[in-house]
Amino acid sequence: MVATDTPIAVLGIDAAWTSHKPSGVSLWLRNQCRWQCVRVSSSYAEFCGNNAEPGCHLANVPEILSTCKSLIGNVQIAVVGVDMPIGKEPIAGRRAADNEVSRRFSNQHCATHSPSTDRPGKVGVLLSTEFLKAGFEPVFEVNANAPVLIEVYPHVSLLAIARYGSTGGHPYDKNMRLPYKASKTTTYWKNIRSATERKRRLIQVWRDILGRLEHFADLSVFRLPDDLENRSFEALKPYEDQIDALVCAWTAAQYLEGSLAPLGNQISAIWVPRELIK
């Protein structure tokens, strides 16, 4: 662990499993024992301040790290938390990590997706390889030295975040998978026909998640617009991606604080809040 009075940073990436969808990115800095979100974006291009080719969202790791340096100087990025299967070997199907997380959390509707040779396939290999070249070693066991690359899973992390702090109540069962995905509101609230009402509930969940995260970090660089209920569900997706990136960064920060445990084996691990598996 890095001394708490030493400035340190983490990066959270809500990585899309295909190259035609954007990935949320969030950079957090810890200074004087307090975490601060320095930047959160709904895509690599937005994070780096450039225009990506339409339909292409592959990660340019050197550019991402260069952007981080421009934001925080020479402060070390100790942990990169990625919501995507990573490893030192090609991933062709379900792994010990996927099975263990599903075994422990399926009752809370937090089973994992099944990776394949196509998803994330080359996208995942590129991300893992480029971060490894930059010095971020994928880790599957405790006590690894920074900088490291870890695999995280926001749905499970949110089970812990839902217990954290208080925002005056929560509009969901905090012991179950949180209803925060914009494309699934008809699944969450099957009996509510009004799209406006479903959006209202969705945004309420988002604000509650952010309120709980604010007990842990300064998120003042990210604010949800007041007119979200008037936007389409498709237009809400970038905000969901940014929230996922914040959760990935929170999980990376928890790794640095020694509060995560790996589920899997020596070649695959998903890092989850230790308090959930006691």
30 has a pLDDT exceeding 70: yes
Residue 89 has pLDDT above 80, yes or no: no
pLDDT above 60 for 1: no
Q: How far apart, in whole angstroms, are the C-alpha atoms of residue 93 and residue 72?
A: 38
Pair type for strands 77-82 and 269-273: unpaired
Please report where in the chains the tokens 């340096």 appear, as a residue: 69
Residue 36 clears pLDDT 80, i.e. is over it: yes
* Beta-bridge mates of residue 79: 10, 148
- Chain position carrying tokens 């030295």: 145
pTM of the model: 0.95
Q: How far is CA 147 from the centre of its chain?
A: 18
Question: Tokens 């389409």 belong to which residue?
Answer: 232
Residues 84 and 97: beta-carbon distance below 8 Å: no
pLDDT-based confidence at residue 33 (cuts at 50, 70, 90): confident
How does pLDDT run across 147-197, given as a tens digit for each residue?
A: 999 999 999 999 999 988 666 656 678 789 999 999 999 999 999 999 999
Check if the beta carbon of residue 142 is closer than 8 Å to that of residue 197.
no
Q: What is the rounded CA–CA span in Å between residue 41 and residue 22?
A: 10
> pLDDT per residue over 227-266, tens digit each?
999 999 999 999 999 999 999 999 999 999 999 999 999 9
